[in-house]
């Protein structure tokens, strides 16, 4: 059973930073790619960033230059470093792992950007 567990969310002031972590129950090498999505209250879930097993990372325009996705294969963990946070970044952030024909999701972690 594949499990993804996010952590690192919280309350931060505008302009602040947070680092989210997503730890998999097994090797993240098994995933063709992993990514982060977010869902604000009353809105649809949207893609934020992706990191493939091989290749280049990619970001939504709304976070490009502010967020960085990375991975530590030895720790089976994918990170999302979020800098220069804005109130519009407030959402539940979900980790995704794509394996075969299946997308696996974590339970989500709340990020709130507010003064």
Give the pLDDT of residue 73. Answer: 87
CA contacts within 13 A on the Cβ side of 42: 1
56/50 Cα distance (integer angstroms): 9
Give the pLDDT of residue 51. Answer: 95
Give the pLDDT of residue 55. Answer: 80
Give the pLDDT of residue 27. Answer: 79
Give the pLDDT of residue 15. Answer: 98
Sign of CA dihedral 64, 66, 67, 70: positive
Rounded to 5, what percent of the chain is helix, strand, coil?
Answer: 10, 50, 40
Q: Which of 108, 89, 92 is nearest to 14 (CA)?
A: 89
Give the pLDDT of residue 37. Answer: 98
DSSP 104: E
Give the pLDDT of residue 67. Answer: 98
Walk along the chain (115 residues) and give the pLDDT tens digit of each residue: 789 999 999 999 999 999 999 999 877 778 889 999 999 999 999 999 999 988 899 999 999 999 999 999 889 999 999 999 999 999 999 999 998 899 999 999 999 999 9
Give the pLDDT of residue 35. Answer: 96
């Amino acid at each position: 059973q594949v499990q993804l567990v996010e952590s690192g969310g919280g309350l931060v002031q505008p302009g602040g930073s947070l680092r989210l972590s997503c730890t998999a129950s097994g090797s993240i090498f098994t995933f063709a790619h992993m990514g982060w999505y977010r869902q604000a209250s009353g809105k649809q879930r949207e893609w934020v960033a992706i990191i493939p097993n091989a290749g280049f990372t990619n970001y939504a325009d709304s976070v490009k230059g502010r967020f960085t996705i990375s991975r530590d294969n030895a720790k089976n963990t994918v990170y999302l470093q979020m800098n220069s946070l804005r109130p519009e970044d407030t959402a539940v952030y979900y980790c995704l792992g794509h394996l075969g024909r299946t997308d696996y999701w974590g339970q989500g972690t709340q990020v709130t950007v507010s003064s």
